[in-house]
């Protein structure tokens, strides 16, 4: 498309130098890279990759579990309508955006003693989806869950949001609802009539993962909302958003998060996100419009570059580019009388 527009020979359009990429799409690619190591894998039977560890389940529980599975039998059909495309077939992903941990170097070794691992994260997210589906499909279970939420004084809304694999923001909303209703989930899941089978019971490490991912994804969610709101998205703010994302991911990787020391699984996932971030940050160098927009922004001018500790020659070049564009296209010309 850019090449086609360039052939039109518009005076102020110089091809890639005027190419402003959709930053909401870039945010989507970054989050996909972060969540990809935790993408669920299904066995040939279409079931989650973990089995019921409880060998002593009594007859009553087995009957309850069978009835629950019957109620939930359309889960796979429901999710098939929103299958996450395979990386090679995903039209949103450029070839080098389709990252897996195998593509990255300097990964930290995961240990079974970690609070959670990539494998356990996949199991955890499957549990969360099953809980959300159970509450959506069973009115009696949902009524019981709401009752427990009220008794536990959980914040509203008293529900677990549905997740759709192709929409990461719904993954964030589901994780947020898990954190919000944590105390109620612990009590509700043990209910033999309306709760969950034991192999889907959520443990503390599952809640820890949910809390970590919510904190990690919250800035992406807020940025996406801003970019999706009319008149709130400014090109001058793109550099600031990229810097914020870079800083957040780098802090997790470097163990500089003051609130929590994250397991290697999450730090490795952040490395994948940071690689995509750096790729698109470098592409802003191809277009002077990002820099010029910041110089012209009354709140930034060249002060942001100084705070970001840009080299003086870079700041001088940014000011020079702005003046050059003004003199060429916008400076009033003398009109001979």
Q: What is the pLDDT of residue 231?
A: 74
Q: Please give the average per-residue pLDDT across 287-316, as a whole number.
A: 85
User: 220: pLDDT confidence band, cut at 50, 70 and 90?
Assistant: very high
pLDDT (0 to 100) of residue 54: 39
Task: Tell whether 140 is covered by a domain.
Answer: yes
Number of domains the chain contains: 1
Q: Tell me the average pLDDT across 213-239.
A: 88
Q: Select the highest-mean-pLDDT range: 33-42, 125-134, 222-231, 315-324.
A: 125-134
- The answer to which of 95-99, 125-129, 200-204, 275-279 has the lowest mean pLDDT is 95-99
Q: Which phi and psi angles does 164 have, rounded to 5°? A: -120, 120
**Which pLDDT belongs to residue 288?**
80
Q: Is residue 2 part of a domain?
A: no
Give the domain extent around 238. 14-287
Which stretch of 18-22, 25-29, 201-205 has the lowest confidence by average pLDDT? 18-22
Tokens standing for 218? 């919250």
- Determine the pLDDT at residue 325: 83
pLDDT digits (tens, 9 = 90+) for 189-218: 999 999 999 999 999 999 999 999 999 999
Is residue 328 very low, low, confident or very high in pLDDT (cuts 50, 70, 90)? confident
Within-domain flag for 144: yes
pLDDT value of position 66: 46
Q: Inter-axis angle of helices 238-253 and 23-35, to 10 degrees?
A: 10
Lowest-confidence region among 9-23, 261-275, 287-301: 9-23
- Locate all alpha helices (DSSP H) within the chain, ordered by sequence: 2-6, 23-35, 59-71, 75-80, 118-137, 139-152, 168-180, 182-188, 204-228, 238-253, 264-283, 289-296, 303-307, 312-325
User: Looking at the domain assignment, is residue 322 inside a domain?
Assistant: no
Reported confidence tier of residue 44, pLDDT bands at 50, 70, 90? very low
Predicted local distance difference test score (pLDDT) of residue 63:
46
% of the chain surpassing 90 pLDDT: 42
Q: State the average pLDDT over residues 147-162.
A: 95
Q: Over the stretch 62-110, which tens digit does the pLDDT of each residue have?
A: 444 445 444 444 444 444 455 544 444 444 445 455 555 566 667 888 8
Question: Looking at residue 99, what is its pLDDT?
Answer: 55
C-alpha dihedral sign at 82, 279, 315, 246: positive
| Of 101, 102, 96, the residue nearest 278 (C-alpha) | 96
**Mean pLDDT of all residues belonging to the chain:** 79
Residue appearing with tokens 């809390």: 211
Query: What six digits make up the tokens of 176?
Result: 């947020």
pLDDT beyond 70 at 299: yes
Residue 93, token pair as written in the block: 């992903």
Domain assignment present for 328: no
pLDDT confidence of 287, banded at 50, 70, 90?
A: confident
Whether residue 323 is contained in a domain is answered as no
Q: Is residue 252 predicted with pLDDT exceeding 70?
A: yes
Residue 5 counted as domain residue: no
Among 61-70, 137-146, 308-317, the range scoring the smallest mean pLDDT is: 61-70
- Predicted confidence at residue 126, as pLDDT, reads 93
Residue 310 lies in a domain: no
Residue 55 has pLDDT above 50, yes or no: no
pLDDT of residue 271: 93
């Amino acid at each position: 498309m850019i090449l086609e527009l360039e052939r039109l020979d518009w005076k102020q359009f110089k091809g890639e130098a005027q190419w402003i990429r959709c930053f909401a799409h870039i945010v989507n690619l970054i989050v996909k890279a972060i969540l990809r190591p935790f993408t669920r894998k299904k066995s040939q039977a279409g079931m989650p990759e973990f089995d019921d560890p409880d060998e002593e389940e009594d007859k009553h529980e087995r009957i309850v579990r069978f009835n629950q599975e019957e109620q939930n039998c359309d889960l796979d059909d429901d999710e098939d309508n929103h299958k996450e495309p395979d990386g090679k077939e995903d039209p949103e992903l450029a070839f080098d955006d389709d990252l897996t941990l195998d593509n990255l170097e300097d990964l930290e070794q995961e240990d079974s003693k970690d609070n959670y691992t990539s494998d356990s994260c996949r199991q955890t997210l499957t549990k969360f989806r099953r809980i959300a589906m159970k509450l959506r499909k069973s009115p009696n279970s949902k009524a019981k869950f709401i009752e427990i939420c009220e008794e536990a004084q959980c914040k509203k809304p008293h529900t677990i949001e549905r997740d759709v694999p192709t929409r990461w923001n719904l993954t964030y909303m589901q994780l947020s609802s898990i954190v919000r209703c944590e105390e109620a989930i612990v009590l509700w899941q043990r209910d033999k009539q309306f709760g969950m089978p034991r192999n889907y019971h959520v443990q503390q490490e599952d809640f820890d993962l949910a809390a970590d991912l919510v904190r990690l994804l919250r800035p992406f969610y807020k940025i996406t909302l801003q970019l999706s709101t009319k008149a709130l998205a400014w090109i001058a703010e793109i550099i600031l958003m990229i810097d914020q994302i870079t800083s957040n991911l780098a802090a997790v990787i470097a163990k500089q998060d003051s609130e929590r020391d994250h397991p290697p699984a999450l730090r490795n996932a952040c490395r994948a996100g940071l690689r995509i971030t750096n790729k698109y940050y470098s592409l802003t160098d191809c277009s002077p419009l990002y820099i010029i927009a910041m110089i012209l922004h009354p709140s930034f001018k060249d002060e942001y570059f100084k705070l970001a500790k840009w080299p003086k020659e870079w700041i001088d070049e940014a000011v020079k580019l702005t003046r050059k564009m003004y003199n060429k296209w916008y400076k009033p010309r003398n009109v001979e009388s």
